[in-house]
Amino acid sequence: MKAIKRIVVCIDFSVYSSEILEYAAGVAERNSAEIVAVNVINKRQIESIKEAINNEQLRTRVLSDFINDQTEKRIKNMDDLFNQWVPKQVSTKIIIKSGVPFEEILRVVDGENADLLVISSKGRTNFEDYMFGTTAEKVFRHCPVPILSLNVKK
């Protein structure tokens, strides 16, 4: 079995995120591994803004501001989660991406040379997820490394 040195953890800031991170932190601590937490600004949000603004110059500025603001907020939220759930001796890294969530998660897994991916089987769901499949299901089908999927009950 390959040693676990880098764990990518998917954090969507749902009610399950703290338990997912806590569990991954335990695995990381026992294996002296690094946690790389990833969060994705969904392309659907970006497309909604694009559709709402007709002026190209204004659209570009609003999108840039939106992505920057969201990135800052998400980094702060991730730091707060780390401070609460990850032991100080565990090395951490935060990655905020924008795009199609499952595609961006897989890019991070590949780009960070992950040994393990930790993801919740639940998250922020809506009718579209019900009809077309969740991010987790898409990741399960395409992930090149072992996946630890947690079914957290709330």
Question: Along the chain (154 residues), what's the average pLDDT of each consecutive run of 10 residues?
Answer: 93 91 97 98 90 84 93 98 97 97 97 96 51 72 92 67
CATH number of the 6-150 domain: 3.40.50.620
pLDDT of amino acid 110: 98
What is the Cα–Cα distance from 79 to 141, expressed in whole angstroms?
30
What is the Cα–Cα distance from 92 to 99, expressed in whole angstroms?
23
Q: What is the pTM of this model?
A: 0.87
Cβ-based burial of 99 (10 A; exposed 0-12, middle 13-18, buried ≥19): middle
What is the Cα–Cα distance from 130 to 67, expressed in whole angstroms?
27
pLDDT of amino acid 55: 85
CA-to-CA separations, 145 to 27, 76, 127, in angstroms, rounded: 16, 28, 29
What is the Cα–Cα distance from 35 to 11, expressed in whole angstroms?
12
pLDDT of amino acid 130: 41
Exposure string over 69-91, b if 16+ CB within 10 A, otherwise e:
ebbeebeeebeebbeebbeeebe
